[in-house]
């Protein structure tokens, strides 16, 4: 039997970050109370330590840029492998801030630490829960090119063409004005309304893009069924109380973006 001293009461989550311009370093050890990690995105985005209900260690995957990740390129694979190796043994679980890392998931195979890099790992679970699954993605075009033909009963609901989500796809520290999360929430509901009108509501929603979990409560305005996403599932596995900072409330208005120190 483990002694009291052997029992670890505070889990630590390792988060692999895409190699994005403007990060203040390659790694940061954070608590859920920190105002900034290595990036500039506001709470709700997985890059921000206050989005999680536990301590985090962020590690940038050098070479795994947003474009490299969207192409599942060799550079993405190598960057994820190196970041995972740097986190291995220091955290209780490894995840990432980009769902497309699912397509280079073999890069995590050499780590002893459990890892779940993407909500796409939950697709089989979603299909077990319900016959009709809607994968909500920031880009149906990109996800479709990587995933190929979806399994029977699965459809991709993309936010392509929605102005603020289009800005999100190419967002950098230099983007001005900052992302308007209230507008993102409204565009998300608009897209769900369009899809439900054309196809009827699904049995299960799977949130593919890591920018989407912060809008779980927004989606509840349209959908009462099961919602699966990487942030909620990771915190469930670690038995961590989800952070209230990780949820956007539709009437709270535009979010401010932290400037890097």
148-156 contacts, C-beta under 8 A, 24 or more apart: 151/123, 151/127, 153/127, 154/123, 154/127, 155/195, 155/199, 155/202
Burial class of 196 by CB neighbour count within 10 A (0 to 12, 13 to 18, 19+) = middle
Closest CA to 135 of 116, 120, 118: 120
Name the pLDDT band for 40 (thresholds 50, 70, 90): confident
Count Cα atoms within 13 angstroms, Cβ side, for 73.
Answer: 15
**Average of per-residue pLDDT values in the chain:** 90
Judge whether residue 2 has pLDDT over 60.
no
C-alpha distances (whole Å) from 14 to each of 111, 113, 243 are 12, 10, 16
d(CA 147, CA 26): 30
Name the pLDDT band for 257 (thresholds 50, 70, 90): very low
Residues of the chain with CATH 3.40.50.1860: 120-246
Judge whether residue 146 has pLDDT over 50.
yes
Residue 1: predicted pLDDT:
38
Is the Cα dihedral 257, 26, 12, 5 positive or negative? negative
d(CA 52, CA 129): 26
Report percent pLDDT > 70 for the chain. Answer: 92
Judge whether residue 93 has pLDDT over 80.
yes
Class of domain 120-246: alpha beta
Residue 7: predicted pLDDT:
54
The full DSSP string for 158-227 is: E-TT-HHHHHHHT--TT-SSPP-HHHHHHHHHHHHHHHHHHH---SEEEE-STTSGGGHHHHTTT--S-E
Please give the backbone phi and psi of residue 129, each rounded to the nearest 5 degrees, phi first: -70, -40
Residue 172: predicted pLDDT:
78
Identify whether the C-beta of residue 12 lies closer than 8 Å to the C-beta of residue 56: yes
Is the Cα dihedral 200, 128, 121, 91 positive or negative? positive
Judge whether residue 232 has pLDDT over 80.
yes
Closest CA to 192 of 166, 211, 215: 215
pTM for the model: 0.90
The number of angstroms, rounded, from the C-alpha of 181 to the middle of its chain's C-alpha atoms is: 15
Residue 229: predicted pLDDT:
96
Tokens of 122: 């939950």
d(CA 157, CA 161): 12
Judge whether residue 5 has pLDDT over 70.
no
Rounded mean pLDDT, 31-35: 91
Judge whether residue 22 has pLDDT over 50.
yes
C-alpha distances (whole Å) from 110 to each of 3, 34, 38, 200, 235 are 30, 31, 26, 42, 23
């Amino acid at each position: 039997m483990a002694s009291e001293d052997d029992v670890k009461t505070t889990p630590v989550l390792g988060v692999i970050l895409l190699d994005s311009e403007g990060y203040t370093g390659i790694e940061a050890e954070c608590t859920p109370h920190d105002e900034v990690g290595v990036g500039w995105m506001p709470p709700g985005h997985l890059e921000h330590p206050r989005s999680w209900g536990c301590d985090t260690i962020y590690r940038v995957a050098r070479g795994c840029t947003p474009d490299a990740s969207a192409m599942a390129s060799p550079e993405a694979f190598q960057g994820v492998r190196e970041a995972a190796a740097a986190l291995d043994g220091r955290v209780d679980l490894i995840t990432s801030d980009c769902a497309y890392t699912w397509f280079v998931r073999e890069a995590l195979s050499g780590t002893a630490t459990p890892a779940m890099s993407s909500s796409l790992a939950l697709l089989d679970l979603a299909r077990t829960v319900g016959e009709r699954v809607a994968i909500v993605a920031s880009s149906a075009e990109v996800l479709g090119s990587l995933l190929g033909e979806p399994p029977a009963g699965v459809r991709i609901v993309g936010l392509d063409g929605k102005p603020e989500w289009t800005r999100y796809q190419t967002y950098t520290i230099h983007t001005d004005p900052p992302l308007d999360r209230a507008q993102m929430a409204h565009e998300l509901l608009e897209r769900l309304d369009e899809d439900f009108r054309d196809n009827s509501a699904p049995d299960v929603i799977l949130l593919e893009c890591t920018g989407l979990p912060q809008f779980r409560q927004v989606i509840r305005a349209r959908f009462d069924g099961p919602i699966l996403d990487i942030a909620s599932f990771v915190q469930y596995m670690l038995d961590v109380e989800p952070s209230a900072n990780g949820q956007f409330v539709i009437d709270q208005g535009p979010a401010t973006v932290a400037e890097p120190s």
